[in-house]
C-alpha cells in the first residue's frame, strides 16, 4: 500500500478528468470539496448526499464519560448555532451547483439514500458522514456493494489523534472490522492528520492504474508499507523528512569468521 504525502485535494487530482463516470459524496456540508472534485474529475454524474439537519446527528453514547463533551465540540464546530449553520450550508450547496445538470443534490440520510443506487454502479464513493465507529461500519456495509468493479471507495478522516478522539472518530477501527468481513484492496493513504484512505474491490483496474500513474507523474513523496501495518497507522509516525533504511535478506549478507 502507498502512503502519499499529499492532502485530499491533491490526491484526488492525481486521477485527472475523464476517468470517472459516476461519483457519490456522502456528507457534503458546504460543498467545497464537492466543487473541487467536479472541477478536477469532471464526472459524468456527481451526486451529493447529506441531511443538513443537526437533530439527526447521533454521536453515540453522549452521556458516557468518554463522550461527555462531544456535543459541545460539534456545536462549537458549527459556530455555536448548528441549525442556522447547516441551513446556510445547504443553501450554499444549492447555489454553488445551480444550473449544473451533472450534479444531483439529495437531502437525505446517507443510509436511506443507499437503496436508490444499484449495486456495482458507482466509480467513486467518498464517505465523509458521521465518523463514529458504528456509523462508519454501517455506511461501509450499505455503500461498498454500490462500488463498480475496480472503483475507488474513499474514507475521509482515517486518523488517530487527540483531536480525533475528542470528536469520537472511529474510522480506522471501523474499516479494519469491515476488512475482516469483506475482501478489500488498500490502494493509497494520504499522510496527514485528516487522511483519506483509498481502497477497492479489485487489486487493479483502469481507474486504479490512472490514480497510480498520476501519483507517479506528480513527483509527490511516497512510501510503500505492508498492508498489515494499516491498523497501526498514525500520521505522526510517517513523515517525509524521515530517512528510510533499505531492508536486507539474510542470504544477501556475507558472513565472515
pLDDT digits (tens, 9 = 90+) for 166-210: 677 889 999 999 999 999 999 999 887 789 999 999 999 999 999
pLDDT tens-digit map of 215-232: 989 888 888 877 877 776
The count of residues in the chain is: 257
Q: What is the pLDDT of residue 98?
A: 96
Q: In whole angstroms, how far apart are CA 31 and each of 12, 34, 95, 97, 169?
A: 15, 5, 10, 9, 21
Task: From 46, 50, 68, select the one nearest 139 (Cα to Cα).
Answer: 50
pLDDT band at 116 (very low <50, low <70, confident <90, very high): very high
What angle separates helix 32-41 from helix 82-96, to the nearest 10 degrees?
Answer: 20
- For residues 202 and 153, the answer to whether their CB atoms sit within 8 Å is no
Percent of the chain with pLDDT over 70: 84
DSSP H helical ranges for the chain: 8-13, 32-41, 70-77, 82-96, 110-113, 133-143, 162-166, 171-181, 206-218
Q: Which domains does the chain have, with CATH numbers?
A: 2-252 (3.40.50.150)
Q: What single DSSP character describes residue 253?
A: S
What is the distance of C-alpha 12 from the center of its chain?
Answer: 11
pLDDT band at 248 (very low <50, low <70, confident <90, very high): very low
pLDDT band at 163 (very low <50, low <70, confident <90, very high): confident
β-strands 147-156, 185-190: how paired? unpaired
Task: From 125, 120, 118, 121, select the one nearest 197 (Cα to Cα).
Answer: 125
Q: What is the pLDDT of residue 243?
A: 45
Q: Give the residue-averaged pLDDT of 140-147.
A: 98
Amino acid at each position: 500500500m502507498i502512503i502519499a504525502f499529499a492532502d485530499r485535494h491533491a490526491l484526488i487530482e492525481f486521477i485527472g478528468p475523464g476517468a470517472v463516470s459516476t461519483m457519490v459524496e456522502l456528507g457534503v456540508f458546504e460543498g467545497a470539496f464537492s466543487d473541487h472534485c467536479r472541477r478536477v474529475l469532471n464526472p459524468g454524474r456527481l451526486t451529493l448526499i447529506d441531511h443538513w439537519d443537526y437533530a439527526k446527528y447521533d454521536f453515540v453514547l453522549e452521556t458516557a464519560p468518554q463522550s461527555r463533551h462531544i456535543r459541545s465540540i460539534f456545536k462549537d464546530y458549527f459556530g455555536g448555532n448548528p441549525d442556522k449553520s447547516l441551513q446556510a450550508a445547504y443553501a450554499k450547496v444549492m447555489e454553488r451547483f445551480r444550473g449544473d445538470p451533472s450534479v444531483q443534490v439529495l437531502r437525505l440520510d446517507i443510509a436511506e439514500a443507499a437503496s436508490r443506487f444499484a449495486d456495482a454502479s458507482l466509480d467513486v464513493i467518498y464517505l465523509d458522514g458521521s465518523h463514529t465507529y458504528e456509523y462508519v461500519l454501517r455506511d461501509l456495509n450499505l455503500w461498498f456493494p454500490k462500488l463498480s468493479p475496480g472503483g475507488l471507495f474513499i474514507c475521509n478522516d482515517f486518523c488517530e489523534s487527540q483531536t480525533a478522539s475528542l470528536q469520537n472518530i472511529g474510522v480506522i477501527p471501523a474499516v479494519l472490522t469491515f476488512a475482516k468481513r469483506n475482501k478489500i484492496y488498500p490502494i493509497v493513504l494520504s499522510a496527514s492528520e485528516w487522511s483519506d484512505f483509498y481502497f477497492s474491490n479489485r487489486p487493479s483496474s483502469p481507474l486504479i492504474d490512472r490514480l497510480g500513474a498520476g501519483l507517479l507523474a506528480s513527483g509527490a513523496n511516497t512510501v510503500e508499507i505492508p498492508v498489515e501495518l494499516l491498523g497501526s497507522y498514525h500520521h505522526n509516525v510517517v513523515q517525509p523528512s524521515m530517512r528510510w533504511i533499505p531492508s536486507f535478506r539474510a542470504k544477501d549478507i556475507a558472513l565472515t569468521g
